[in-house]
Structure 1
Amino acid sequence: MPKPVIAIFDVGKTNKKLFLIDENYQIVYERSARFVETVDEDGEPCENLESLRSSVYDSLHQVLQLKEFDVKAINFSTYGASFVYLDENGEPLTPLYNYLKEYPEELKQAFYAKYGGEEKISLETASPILGSLNSGMQLYRLKHEKPEIFQKVKWALHLPQYLSYLISGKAVADITSIGCHTQLWDFGKNQYHNWVSAEKITEKFGEFTPADSSLNTNFEGSSVKVGVGLHDSSAALIPYLANFNTPFVLISTGTWCISLNPFNQQPLTAGELKQDCLCYMHYKGKAVKASRIFAGYEHEVQLKRIAEHFDRAAYLFKHLKFNPSMILKLANKIPENQQEQQGFSASSAFPDRDLNLFQTAEEAYHQLIFDLIKQQIYSLKLILNAGVRRIFVDGGFGKNAIYMHLLATSIPDIEVYASSVSQATAIGTALAINDAWNENPAPTDMIQLKYYSAIQRSLDF
């Protein structure tokens, strides 16, 4: 008997992956691809949309031929802030513009002047002002810079919904994409923002469809359920929402360290927005209050500086054990270590530290993590609310013993866990439509946890 599975396309900026996941949420097949970027009409690098489209069709065709698997459903998660503009025949009208593309200042000023100012729009849409990363601004730009192309746009689909459209043929809009720093969604009114209607853009989004729904589709003679697609950050949160009812915050660590609180529905304040807070939207349509810092990047830059100064290989630091006596020593050496951070800082204090202060590379590295933790705690407290009893840390810093011990000591009233879910984004994307393809309930043991207890000592930071 063929094993029932769901096919999940997990499309990142660098790696494009296809997983087959069985009813027990074990990954039973995996393949990945990388494409050479192309350029748009301005010579800016962008995703090769044709390569992506071909890859989806080709890889799906291949797995449907595998006799040992019965593909019951298909779903998609991709990076956000990217639109595909389709004509009435479903053909792309433009390149898939890069969300890092510089936004014209004049057009930006005209937009905010027309619709009430940056602060008003930002507060109502829970989106910091991010230029092209506010994907709604990409649509506004297309309408005003290239009206002749805009007129031909039948559908403007975020990338997850475009991939779903390739298989289902149905154009839909999904809240996890529309609600994430796009400036399209009014969080207070729970509908598209009034500027979207005023610009006559709403009709181009397709039918608003719940993120946990699926469409009956026939693909190459096989009857499958096709999900509507999810924004990857929202998908990665789903395994935690499925496994834990007690309020928690997930700190997702990588280049950015993003603190996600699905249990805080308080509207963002102007002050929070200025400190890089925003709202994501989880797949059930609730706001997820989030804050972020560039700490993973900072860590890599400063680790290299320490390694060069002490003539050590950078990889050796990844396995350093936590040394509590060194933290106490640093508290005496650097008085500010004993004080709580008073103001928000976009980077840690470490870049300005003189490395000659430290006797060893190990001592310098402990101070680096100490400084990053102070920054992390400030960022975390921006979205923390009463009732949160657990912090889960996934990604790179979850494997860093020094980081985890210092984090636990910084918030002794909250349980701190390093957590890991193998391929959390893909697993979450499958869980979103579990009932459509799986006769079993979602398993409750898919997240591996390691508890870190606070170290009792007098140092307060």
Structure 2
Amino acid sequence: MRRIAVLDIGKTNAKVLVVDLATGVEEVLARSPNAVRRDGPYPHHDIEALWAFVLSGLQLAAARGVDAVSITTHGAACVLVDEGGGLALPMLDYEHDGPDLVDAEYETVRPGFGETGSPRLPGGLNVGAQLFWLERAFPAEFATAWHALMLAQYWAFRLSGVAASEATSLGCHTDLWNPWQGRFSSLVARMGWEGLFPPVRKAADVLGPVLPEVAAATGLPVGTPVLCGIHDSNASLVPHLAEAPCGVLSTGTWMIVMALGGRAVELDPARDVLVNVNALGQPVPTARFMGGREMEEIMGGRIVEPSDGELRGVLERRVMAMPSLHPDTGPFPGKRFGWVGGEPDGGARMAAASFFAALMGAECLALAGAEGPVIVEGAFGGNLAFLRMLATATGRVVRGAGQGAGTGLGAALLAGPLQAKGPAALEVGPESDPLWTGYVGAWREAVARW
């Protein structure tokens, strides 16, 4: 295996890329917004528009020549399909508050954190809550469901015709999986859902070749293998599984902070701490907040590069952003966003926003018990102000893997090992300047008072 086509379906954007395992180079061939539709019974993702995008992207991949197709997608995403493979119900947008309407009833059946490593999250962020609400709100349609497929495995099913379940997706705060025992949680049997979930396969398993109609539509060779697929944050972990102990930040809409081989700590589900499952089936303590979403909202979508003078000005005046624009998530639940030291603009605003994200990331690393170097994958991997503050706040070396998603390479590595070193990471050590260390202490004190 050398060239791997990767479907990367994130919450905000969808991509098709090709990863060359001989060189480590990722080439993005196509990109599209992952739009949420407001028609129909509830907000839902446009599965058929995404399917058309997938086929057109795979046409481009086939023209370059690929040896396999791998898949990585965002979590909290489940598709109910009927006996004919069509949608039994539209794929719920996890930000919809429908599941909150039955929260009290759901709490009587969901397993505790000690069994699943999954805290109760708002809206549909627990897939178990999605299924519970859908079954009650749309009983006739739910009754036609033949399979409940996590999103990566849904796309593998569309490509190969083979239905499968997979642990990294099931272990993503779904309430459906026991990460300590590597099996479905008691919720599945309690709700009578056992028959909805097809057999569990490994993320790297080949489910089958592409269907003949997919080969005809894309130009992929008949026999091109389709891998089972992986949850996106865990795809970011794949290149680092042998590097433990370390902390890995997978950054995009969410900043997912994972501890590989860290110290044992008491995990606090009230602070958005949970347990993920890596591609080896091992539990991974994880903390998170909506880092990319909050950065975008703070900046109004205008990402700029702060100058050295703007960085220094923010540090000197201790201009600080306080958590959080999304107070239902992250390590400081209930706290509301605001500014200390005045509201900046331009490059200074970018500096303060980057420092805020780094300090939140440092808090998440501590909550997950991470030790060793810190690796930053994805959108924040090329943000030097972020990397410098993260290193200072943690007192550890931080390696920025650049602006690439990180998930694409991880998904491709399911097909085979990397045959050459990738681009060198940007390595940053802690700052000793009191301006930087003082800012860290001042921010933590301000948050405690906020």
Q: Hey, what's the Cα distance between the residues in 1 that align with 2:136 and 2:312?
A: 61
Please name the residue that 1:320 is paired with.
307
Please name the residue that 1:291 is paired with.
287
Matches within 5 A, 1:42-191: 42=41, 44-60=42-58, 63-64=61-62, 66=63, 69=65, 71-105=66-100, 107-115=102-110, 121-130=112-121, 131-191=123-183
Please name the residue that 2:184 is paired with.
192
1:402 to 365, 377, 385: 385
User: Offset at 1:174?
Assistant: 0.6
Please name the residue that 2:218 is paired with.
none
Contact 2:9 2:15 in 1 (8 A): yes
User: Offset at 1:249?
Assistant: 0.6
Taking a change above 3 Å as real, the CA distance of residues 448 and 39 of structure 1, as seen in their structure-2 partners, is same
2:428 to 452, 456, 459: 452
Amino acid at match of 2:282: K
Q: Hey, what's the Cα distance between the residues in 1 that align with 2:377 and 2:61?
A: 30
Amino acid at match of 2:156: S
Please name the residue that 2:369 is paired with.
384
Q: 1:212 aligns to what SS in structure 2?
A: coil
Contact 1:180 1:281 in 2 (8 A): yes
Matches within 5 A, 1:216-231: 216-217=208-209, 219-220=211-212, 222-231=222-231
Q: Hey, what's the Cα distance between the residues in 2 that align with 1:73 and 1:109?
A: 45
User: Offset at 1:157?
Assistant: 0.6
Please name the residue that 1:280 is paired with.
276
Q: Identity rate of aligned residues, in percent?
A: 25
User: Offset at 1:328?
Assistant: 7.3
Q: Hey, what's the Cα distance between the residues in 1 that align with 2:98 and 2:141?
A: 18
Contact 1:76 1:429 in 2 (8 A): yes
Could you give the per-residue CA deviations for residues 410-441 of structure 1, whole angstroms, max 9, x where no partner exists?
A: 333x222222273421211110121xxxxxx4
Could you give the per-residue CA deviations for residues 242-299 of structure 1, whole angstroms, max 9, x where no partner exists?
A: xx52421112334433321122485863xx1101111221111112211123444444
Q: 1:183 aligns to what SS in structure 2?
A: coil
Could you give the per-residue CA deviations for residues 89-110 of structure 1, whole angstroms, max 9, x where no partner exists?
A: 2121111111111134452211
Q: Hey, what's the Cα distance between the residues in 2 that align with 1:145 and 1:128?
A: 23
Is residue 2:5 matched to residue 1:22? no
User: Offset at 1:193?
Assistant: 1.1
Contact 1:408 1:452 in 2 (8 A): yes
Q: Hey, what's the Cα distance between the residues in 2 that align with 1:378 and 1:83?
A: 30
Question: Could you say what the CA RMSD is over the residues aligned between the two structures, in angstroms?
Answer: 3.5
Could you give the per-residue CA deviations for residues 83-130 of structure 1, whole angstroms, max 9, x where no partner exists?
A: 221222212111111111113445221121245xxxx52332112212
Could you give the per-residue CA deviations for residues 385-424 of structure 1, whole angstroms, max 9, x where no partner exists?
A: 4xx2201223444433333223322333x22222227342
User: Offset at 1:301?
Assistant: 4.7
Contact 2:311 2:348 in 1 (8 A): no
1:252 to 250, 253, 259: 250
Larger Rg: 1
User: Offset at 1:188?
Assistant: 3.4
Taking a change above 3 Å as real, the CA distance of residues 368 and 54 of structure 1, as seen in their structure-2 partners, is closer
Q: Which runs of 5+ in 2 are unaligned?
A: 213-220, 321-330, 442-450
Q: Hey, what's the Cα distance between the residues in 1 that align with 2:312 and 2:26?
A: 43
Q: Hey, what's the Cα distance between the residues in 2 that align with 1:399 and 1:383?
A: 23
Is 92-101 or 286-295 further displaced after alignment? 286-295
State the aligned residue count: 419
Is residue 2:413 matched to residue 1:431? yes
TM-score, normalised by the number of residues in structure 2:
0.81
Q: Hey, what's the Cα distance between the residues in 1 that align with 2:312 and 2:58?
A: 55
Contact 2:379 2:405 in 1 (8 A): no
Q: Hey, what's the Cα distance between the residues in 1 that align with 2:347 and 2:250?
A: 25
Amino acid at match of 1:257: M
TM-score, normalised by the number of residues in structure 1:
0.79
Is 147-156 or 167-176 further displaced after alignment? 147-156
Amino acid at match of 1:225: P
Q: Hey, what's the Cα distance between the residues in 1 that align with 2:398 and 2:26?
A: 28
Q: Hey, what's the Cα distance between the residues in 2 that align with 1:328 and 1:53?
A: 47
Is residue 2:335 matched to residue 1:353? no
Q: Hey, what's the Cα distance between the residues in 1 that align with 2:335 and 2:350?
A: 13
Q: Hey, what's the Cα distance between the residues in 2 that align with 1:62 and 1:283?
A: 28
Could you give the per-residue CA deviations for residues 308-328 of structure 1, whole angstroms, max 9, x where no partner exists?
A: xxxxx965x523227897577
Q: Hey, what's the Cα distance between the residues in 2 that align with 1:38 and 1:22?
A: 35
Is 248-257 or 174-183 further displaced after alignment? 248-257
Please name the residue that 1:338 is paired with.
none
2:259 to 239, 258, 261: 261
Q: Which runs of 5+ in 1 are unaligned?
A: 305-312, 335-343, 435-440
Amino acid at match of 2:340: R
Q: Hey, what's the Cα distance between the residues in 2 that align with 1:429 and 1:362?
A: 35
Q: Hey, what's the Cα distance between the residues in 2 that align with 1:364 and 1:72?
A: 45
